[in-house]
Amino acid sequence: MKPDNKLKKTLTGIKSIAEQRDTIKRILVLIGKYRILVFVSLILAALTTALTLYIPILTGNAVDCVIGEGNVDFNELMSVLIKIAEAALLSGVFQWLMNHINNKITYHVVSDVRVKAFNHLQELPVRYFDTHKSGDTVSRIIADIDQFSDGVLMGFTQFFTGVMTIVGTLGFMLLINPVIAAVVVVLTPLSFVVAGFIAKRTYTMFLKQSESRGELTALTDELINNIKTVKAFEQEENSKRRFAEINERLSEYSQQATFYSSITNPATRFVNSMVYAAVGITGAIAAIYGFISVGRLTSFLSYANQYTKPFNEISGVVTELQNAIACAKRVFDLMDEEPIPAEKEDVKKLENAEGRVDIEHMFFSYDSKKPLIEDMNLSVNKGERVAIVGPTGCGKSTLINLLMRFYDPLRGEIMIDGTDSRDISRGSLRDSFGMVLQETWLKSGTIKENIAYGKPDATDEEIVRAAKEAFADSFIRRMPEGYDTVIGEDGGSLSQGQKQLLCIARLMLKLPPVLILDEATSSIDTRTEVKVQSAFAKLMEGRTSFVVAHRLSTIKESDVILVMRNGSIVEQGKHEELLRKKGFYHELYMSQFAGSP
């Protein structure tokens, strides 16, 4: 191996260990919230272990009761057997209580993590969702947290009792015969060396396994959501190849992770068998020479077996914990993503918005290396209807994102009613805007709930009126349960046009002072579009409106038309005025209407 590769591998290993330590610390902080339950669980684990370890002593006493020369003490034997039964019963009860508490701790911790991760998801900026696959994010919150819970549960149920069993059995063996116990102590480190050697290699594989699983979930989510497009372009075979490639990587990482984790138990069992054999041989020699009774040797062998057994369990726990830590790291990485910057303490609440919008010397780009909007200036008065047109990628949707504060300008200001939008609370600003996008979104629920999404306290009469104004009432009433019809995720079997009408009805219900319509009628038939446009015209009266449109025939009546190109406003004015200029707008218009204004 080249020196550079060795150095790189060493640095990667150091980073991996540091990441594991940080992740474990964060897990312990989460568990610390339930420290009382943890303390009770430890007490129960100690009691369970103590009773379990008391049974071999009683067993040794029972053996000594029946191997004496010429006599068997039945009374003493019966007394010992009763004690064994009592100890076993109490141990079982304490273990049941301990497992119940451990389950409670685990699922509370997992619930806390999932809630925190989901809540943090709501606080992440739109930029995060623009740069991360939704399937991978879903995989972190669902699959990775499930794997994390399995590891934590196993850690609680087996790790605590395993450690206490090791300590307890070692103590009892030292009391019975320090010489034989010394043999056990000398051979014990072999188990730790073997388990530690394997554990270092499992974490990396489990982390890669989790990442590949997230990638596979993202691809599956992408293909399912766009299955019609996949079929329309006959990309089934290509999709299968992409899936098979990621699945092959996942399979490879899973096999390696499973291989390393599966050899842990046999390796430690081999070492433990050596310990047991050494104890048996040493103890037999001691019994022959009278240094230990047969009953005590029986107890000692039982302790040696109990002493080595937890090493097998702990080695399995360590392997599972490696997987849990790897999954927890991915969840914590999500939770460490920078949230939307906190609002200023003196932030204002936008009430009774008039709808005046002024943009002054605004600069913005998604990538610092690729400028988009540069030195934009715009002034929109209350109640004006503003149309935004231009070729794809010119910055139309970006301007909408900036108005809604999904992004903030890098330089310059967006003034709403004379106040910098960054000095206005996001909630009140967005509450003053109503938006219908070309890309519709409906949640799983009733049609009534979807229309009232922006106004949950709306009455049935208000919902029906909004649907009528959006010309959605007729098709809603033809559905099995009318407004109470439950639709699936993203509208289920509804047509794209019907989905868009419901989104328009959602806007009609809210009646905000500022409207944003981004190709709001693109999926509606021409006859219905004329009616909806008429409803929009009525809705826009007295309200400031921003209309993004590709069909220029729909914006002729706008008070001002902004013509954008490469992130800048290259022309602005009324329809007839822009046509007379014979500029870029004239070029766009003629390309649609074949030279007939």
pLDDT tier at 597, thresholds 50, 70, 90: very low
Per the model's pLDDT, the better-predicted residue between 407 and 320 turns out to be 407
Looking at the structure, do residues 159 and 302 belong to the same domain, yes or no?
Answer: yes
Mean pLDDT of the chain: 80
Q: Which tens digits make up the pLDDT trace of 15-51?
A: 566 777 888 888 888 888 888 888 888 888 888 888 8
Is residue 324 domain-resident? Answer: yes
Whole-number Å distance between alpha carbons of 597 and 71: 121
227-231 average pLDDT score: 71
Per the model's pLDDT, the better-predicted residue between 554 and 4 turns out to be 554
pLDDT tier at 595, thresholds 50, 70, 90: very low
Phi and psi angles of residue 26, each rounded to the nearest 5 degrees, phi first = -70, -35
Instruction: Flag whether pLDDT at 333 surpasses 80.
Output: yes
Looking at the structure, do residues 136 and 281 belong to the same domain, yes or no?
Answer: yes
**CB count, 10 Å around CB of 484?**
12
The candidate with the shortest Cα–Cα distance to 309, out of 191, 185, 198, 193, is: 191
Is residue 312 domain-resident? Answer: yes
Whole-number Å distance between alpha carbons of 43 and 40: 5
- Measured between its terminal Cα atoms, the distance across the chain in Å is 73
Looking at the structure, do residues 307 and 164 belong to the same domain, yes or no?
Answer: yes
Q: Which tens digits make up the pLDDT trace of 99-117?
A: 888 888 888 888 888 889 8
Per the model's pLDDT, the better-predicted residue between 390 and 261 turns out to be 390
Whole-number Å distance between alpha carbons of 57 and 352: 82
Is 448:532 a contact under the CB 8 Å cutoff?
A: no
Is 31:112 a contact under the CB 8 Å cutoff?
A: no
The residue among 464, 479, 511 that closes a domain is 511
Q: What's the pLDDT score for residue 252?
A: 84
Q: Which tens digits make up the pLDDT trace of 154-197?
A: 666 677 777 777 777 777 777 777 777 777 777 666 666 666 66
Per the model's pLDDT, the better-predicted residue between 528 and 402 turns out to be 402
Which residue segment(s) compose the domain that 223 sits in?
26-32+105-335
109-126 average pLDDT score: 86
The residue among 315, 335, 355 that closes a domain is 335
Q: What's the pLDDT score for residue 89?
A: 92
Q: What's the pLDDT score for residue 280?
A: 75
Per the model's pLDDT, the better-predicted residue between 57 and 7 turns out to be 57
The candidate with the shortest Cα–Cα distance to 424, out of 478, 351, 515, 361, is: 351
Is residue 384 domain-resident? Answer: no
Q: What's the pLDDT score for residue 15?
A: 56
Q: How many domains does the chain have?
A: 2
Q: What's the pLDDT score for residue 11?
A: 45
Instruction: Flag whether pLDDT at 13 surpasses 60.
Output: no
139-143 average pLDDT score: 83
Is residue 239 domain-resident? Answer: yes
Whole-number Å distance between alpha carbons of 507 and 532: 12
452-472 average pLDDT score: 88
Per the model's pLDDT, the better-predicted residue between 143 and 72 turns out to be 143
The candidate with the shortest Cα–Cα distance to 519, out of 539, 491, 497, is: 497
List the Cα angle 192/197/199 in 5-degree steps.
90
167: Cα separation from own chain's centroid: 39
Q: What's the pLDDT score for residue 228?
A: 64
Most confident of the following: 98-107, 307-316, 490-499: 98-107
554: left (phi over 0), alpha (psi -120 to 50) or beta: alpha
The residue among 335, 369, 401 that closes a domain is 335
CATH number of the CATH domain containing 487: 3.40.50.300
498-502 average pLDDT score: 84
85: Cα separation from own chain's centroid: 48
Is residue 143 domain-resident? Answer: yes
Looking at the structure, do residues 450 and 331 belong to the same domain, yes or no?
Answer: no
Looking at the structure, do residues 329 and 446 belong to the same domain, yes or no?
Answer: no
- pTM recorded for the entire structure: 0.68
Is residue 173 domain-resident? Answer: yes
Instruction: Flag whether pLDDT at 349 surpasses 80.
Output: yes
Is residue 545 domain-resident? Answer: no
Query: By three-state DSSP, how is residue 467 classified?
Result: helix
Sheet holding 433-436, edge to edge: 433-436, 514-518, 544-548, 385-389, 560-565, 568-573
Instruction: Flag whether pLDDT at 262 surpasses 80.
Output: no
Looking at the structure, do residues 319 and 462 belong to the same domain, yes or no?
Answer: no
Is residue 256 domain-resident? Answer: yes
Whole-number Å distance between alpha carbons of 316 and 330: 22
359-380 average pLDDT score: 85
Looking at the structure, do residues 173 and 298 belong to the same domain, yes or no?
Answer: yes
Query: By three-state DSSP, how is residue 372 classified?
Result: coil
Looking at the structure, do residues 473 and 329 belong to the same domain, yes or no?
Answer: no
Q: Which tens digits make up the pLDDT trace of 424-448?
A: 888 888 888 888 877 778 888 888 9
Q: What's the pLDDT score for residue 167?
A: 79
Instruction: Flag whether pLDDT at 331 surpasses 70.
Output: yes
Looking at the structure, do residues 252 and 110 belong to the same domain, yes or no?
Answer: yes
418: left (phi over 0), alpha (psi -120 to 50) or beta: left
In the block, tokens 């446009």 appear at: 533
